[in-house]
Amino acid sequence: MEPTYSDRFWTSQDGLKLHFRDYPGGAGRPPVLCMHGLTRNARDFAELAGRLAGDWRVIVPEMRGRGMSEYASDPATYTPLHYAQDILALLEQEKIDRFVAIGTSLGGLMTMLLAAIDPARIAAAALNDVGPQLEAAGIERIREYVGQGRSYATWMHAARALSDQHGEAHPEFGIEQWLDMAKRAMVVQQNGRIGYDYDMKIAEPFGEAGGEAPQDMWPAFEALGTKPVLVLRGEKSDILAQATLDAMRARLPNCEAVVVPQVGHAPMLNEPEAVAAIDRLLAQAR
């Protein structure tokens, strides 16, 4: 039986109605806040949240312009700093003064920014295939497809398109896994075709040089200080280089670095190595 969650909402500082999934549990423990990647939504964390729910309260926000969250009237607000400010408004509403952050890609950038703003709030953090230095080749690859607005006649067509686009990152996926990914990333649109579940205008700031992240994120990463930190890297990642991972591990005393084999950007967090590493992190945050 799939764990139950509540669809709930909060309001951003500029008045957007934003959506989050709230999985109950974890009395006496800090909640786990799961933050998704650039073109993704709350469905990305369904498996992880289902595994943790009950033992932990799990909150999965959908950032502005994704899923059930309202689209921004000003595309210039589709930036990591604005997303981090949205999260601060959510924390304020829910009266959360301490949490565990799990961030994939963009969500990891948001985690570092939240650490820079208020490090005392973070009990522990997992950064999934992202760091303070991003590889140009990976950023350019993402720029080639984000905001393209493609749609498909059937779920099978959508799954095969994802396979063509991301096959190098998940070489061991079969058609069932690609169908699952399609149903996480896309929805049936009003015209009956299947398309991506985000505002295509998120590509506008990302498409500009430096628009993917604030400059010099190393101080933000180091703001995690002595907190338990996990950094996951896909072995085939073109976003997080092994040299950057090594530097991250060297800079923080409590940083564990784990490489997920045969995966690119980004691990799904259901790989055995990722599952075990997240459990080790949470054991330190109880």
The full set of domain ranges for the chain reads 6-147+202-285, 148-197
Per-residue pLDDT, 283: 97
pLDDT in tens, 170-219: 999 999 999 999 999 999 999 999 999 999 999 999 988 888 898 899 99
Task: Kindly tell me the sign of the dihedral angle through the C-alpha atoms of 95, 50, 112, 138.
Answer: negative
For residue 207, what pLDDT is reported?
A: 85
Could you tell me which CATH class the domain 6-147+202-285 is placed in?
A: alpha beta
> Over 80: is that where the pLDDT of 280 sits?
yes
Asked if omega into 266 is within 30° of 0 (cis), the reply is yes
Q: So what's the pLDDT on residue 94?
A: 98
More confident residue, 268 or 208: 268
Burial 88-120 (b: 16+ CB within 10 A, else e): bbbbeebebeebbbbbbbbbbbbbbbbbbeebe
Please give the Cα distance from 121 to 214 (Å, whole number): 21
Q: Is residue 130 predicted with pLDDT exceeding 90?
A: yes
Hey, CA dihedral for 93, 97, 103, 107, is it positive or negative? positive
Q: Is 87 exposed, middle or buried (0-12, 13-18, 19+ CB in 10 A)?
A: buried
pLDDT at residue 148 is higher than 80: yes
Span 46-65, average pLDDT? 97
Q: Within its chain, how far is the Cα of 150 from the centroid? A: 22
User: Using N-to-C axis directions, what is the helix angle for 106-117 and 80-94, rounded to 10°?
Assistant: 60
Say what percent of the chain tops pLDDT 70.
99
Q: What is the mean pLDDT of the chain?
A: 96
Q: pLDDT digits over 219-254, tens only?
A: 999 999 999 999 999 999 999 999 999 999 999 999
Q: How many CA atoms does the CB half-sphere of 217 hold within 13 Å?
A: 24
β-pairing, 6-11 with 17-23? Answer: antiparallel
Banded pLDDT at 2 (limits 50, 70, 90): low
Over residues 19-48, mean pLDDT:
97
Other C-beta atoms closer than 10 Å to the C-beta of 39 total 22
